[in-house]
Structure 1
Amino acid sequence: MRLVDLEPQWMEHDGRRIGFVFLSPVQPKRHDGSPRSQPYRLTSMVSPTPMNLQREVAERMFGDNDFTVVPCNQTQGWTIAGGIDAAAFDTLSASPSIDGSASGNWHGYITNGQITGGI
């Protein structure tokens, strides 16, 4: 699967990119096994970013519409190959892995714009 197929967007604060957000490749089900009406999005920040700032930026981007943004670990920073300012979603590589498994979401890798791994 390609990252560009997951509607990625840059997260910006004070005029600079601080991370990105994308649809989780694995969407958790409701307790009764049915799909959720609101898809989850996962974030990845390039430096440790407080939870309240992640939520503030996500709210500016998406409001409180029909999906849920799952913030990343506020003490973690991801390395974007070549730097976030020069990155493009079709070739993006991020490390370490992105782990949304605590909320029932996807855990895997983004390498050269490709999504690999799963829960």
Structure 2
Amino acid sequence: MTGPAGNVAPRAVAGGDAPKPAIPGTPAPRFAPGDAVRVRDDWPEARGPAHVRTPHYLRGRVGRVAATLGAYPDPSDLAFARPAPRVVLYHVAFPRAAAFPGQGDDELLVELYETWLTPGQEDA
């Protein structure tokens, strides 16, 4: 499968390929596909310089894990040239209405690092 300009497109996150061997030092995922998670309602940028990759409009919102994408060096440390431990990255799905009430029933799919997620319950 190729993407724009003949570049190799990323593989689909669901189904298919056998799991790849873990890289030493890679943490085990805390959440599994289908788990409800809540995005921490935290504002580290209010405490000083921060590199935040979590959308403001999803903080405090509940979604469900769609896929585990692997573990990668923590970008909040890499941005400041600090040693970066590996952190698990997930695809998390949110009902569009959770972030944008009255804007339809689509779903948002967002990449979020585990450090931003807590166990969640579906909002009533």
Larger Rg: 2
TM over 0.5: no
TM-score (norm 2): 0.25
